Amino acid sequence: MHLQPRLILWVASGGVLGAAARIGVTHLSPAPAGFPLATFVVNVVGAFVLGLLLQGLSDAGPDQGRRRLARLWAGTGFCGAFTTYSSFAVDTDELLRAGQLGLALAYVAATLMLGAVATLAGVAAAGLRRRRSV
Amino acid sequence: MTELLAALAGGLGAAARFVADGAFTAFVDRRGGSVLPWATTLINVTGSFALGVVVGLVTVGGAPSAAALIVGTGFLGGYTTFSTASFETVRLARQGRWRAAGVHLAVMVSGTLLAAAAGLSLVAAV
């Protein structure tokens, strides 16, 4: 699957939009008191969207056909490129290097905890939609 | 223009992640599989190291910041991902595999932080 040129392009097209949206958020949001707010926001929002998407798709049926295409475009492509781990790691290291230990710890803890909460919220939201549609 | 190139590079990064994830997962499966999803960890650790190098080249080496936006924010931002990492940890926890979830999270965080620091230091040392 990962070697099919059409699927690779398909993932890339979702990725272009996801990266563009992330870059857009970076422009909109400042870094108050050195806190990397933009990366924090895209990661938490993206975690929610991916939880909603993957749970919704797996509730709808097996991973094939249109469902697989939706997962690859919106999940692997868009959410994958909208969220990022490399900036999270480098920004944290730079806070540590600047002696901002408290801020670095707060950034890591907030990202990981709210990221997990957002993922769970997305999964739960997919469940609510399911119960309504029954 | 730089932003547009960065977005396109982000798509390329996502495609690279898709291929690397598939190839690495196939490699692990041929060796009998693993109880943990290692592909995302490998991708995020290598991408964090690379971004450390890119940021180091700009801050220490004086490389142009447009290149950093395209390669760093664009390509490596698209290549590495937080949403899948979070989903994998949560899925392990929801399956009641708390130890695996803890290991997955701890290796991901410490691995990416160490790799990014190594990348930053490498440029400073050269």
- Domain segments of chain B as ranges: 1-125
Residue A100 pLDDT > 70, yes or no?
yes
Mean pLDDT across chain B: 95
Question: Would you place residue A2 in the very low, low, confident or very high pLDDT band (cuts 50, 70, 90)?
Answer: confident
Share of chain B above pLDDT 90, in %: 85
Query: Residue A125 class from Cβ within 10 Å (0-12 exposed, 13-18 middle, 19+ buried)?
Result: middle
Q: For chain B, what is the radius of gyration of the CA atoms?
A: 16
B32 among the known binding-site residues?
A: no
Mean pLDDT calculated for residue range A98-117 = 97
Residue B59, both tokens = 């801050």
Which has the closest alpha carbon to B44: B86, B98, B101? B86
Given an 8 Å threshold on Cβ–Cβ distance, is B48 in contact with A108? Answer: no
Q: What is the pLDDT of residue A22?
A: 97
**Alpha carbon of A124 to those of A61, A75, A109, B91: distances in Å?**
17, 17, 22, 13
Q: What is the pLDDT of residue A133?
A: 59
Q: What is the pLDDT of residue A27?
A: 87
Given an 8 Å threshold on Cβ–Cβ distance, is A86 in contact with B89? Answer: no
Mean pLDDT calculated for residue range A58-79 = 96
The runs of H, that is alpha helices, within chain A are: 5-28, 37-60, 65-70, 80-82, 86-97, 101-133
Q: What is the pLDDT of residue A132?
A: 62
**Which residue would you say has higher pLDDT here, B74 or B59?**
B74
Q: What is the pLDDT of residue B36?
A: 87
Whether residue B6 lies within 8 A of chain A, CB to CB, comes out as yes
Residue B23, both tokens = 């190839």
Residue A134 pLDDT > 80, yes or no?
no
Whether the Cβ atoms of residue A77 and residue B14 lie closer than 8 Å to each other? yes
- In the stretch 8-37 of chain A, residues with CB closer than 8 A to chain B read 8-9, 11-20, 22-23, 26
**Alpha carbon of A40 to those of A5, A22, A66, B46: distances in Å?**
33, 11, 31, 21
B33 among the known binding-site residues?
A: no
**Alpha carbon of A62 to those of A55, A66, B9, B91: distances in Å?**
11, 10, 31, 17
- In the stretch 75-134 of chain A, residues with CB closer than 8 A to chain B read 75-77, 79-90, 92-94, 97, 108, 111-112, 115-116, 118-120, 123
- Using the structure block, give the residue that is written with the tokens 């939880």: A51
Mean pLDDT calculated for residue range B43-72 = 94
**Which residue would you say has higher pLDDT here, A8 or A32?**
A8
Q: What is the pLDDT of residue B102?
A: 97
Residue A92, both tokens = 């944290």
Question: Would you place residue A101 in the very low, low, confident or very high pLDDT band (cuts 50, 70, 90)?
Answer: very high
Whether the Cβ atoms of residue A59 and residue A126 lie closer than 8 Å to each other? yes
Residue A131 pLDDT > 80, yes or no?
no
Q: How far apart are CA B71 and CA B5, in angstroms?
A: 9
Whether the Cβ atoms of residue A118 and residue B83 lie closer than 8 Å to each other? no
Mean pLDDT calculated for residue range A82-90 = 98
Residue A107, both tokens = 């950034």
Question: Would you place residue A112 in the very low, low, confident or very high pLDDT band (cuts 50, 70, 90)?
Answer: very high
Q: What is the pLDDT of residue A41?
A: 97
Instruction: Give the number of beta-carbon pairs within 8 Å between A and B.
Output: 190
CA dihedral over A95, B1, B71, A22, signed as positive or negative = positive
Question: Would you place residue A31 in the very low, low, confident or very high pLDDT band (cuts 50, 70, 90)?
Answer: confident
B7 contact residues in A (CB cutoff 8 A) = 16-17, 19-20, 23
Q: What is the pLDDT of residue B11?
A: 98
Mean pLDDT across chain A: 94
- In the stretch 87-116 of chain B, residues with CB closer than 8 A to chain A read 87, 89-90, 93-94, 105, 108-109, 112-113, 115-116
- In the stretch 63-82 of chain B, residues with CB closer than 8 A to chain A read 72-74, 76-82
**Which residue would you say has higher pLDDT here, A2 or B116?**
B116
Whether residue B3 lies within 8 A of chain A, CB to CB, comes out as yes
Whether the Cβ atoms of residue B10 and residue A18 lie closer than 8 Å to each other? yes
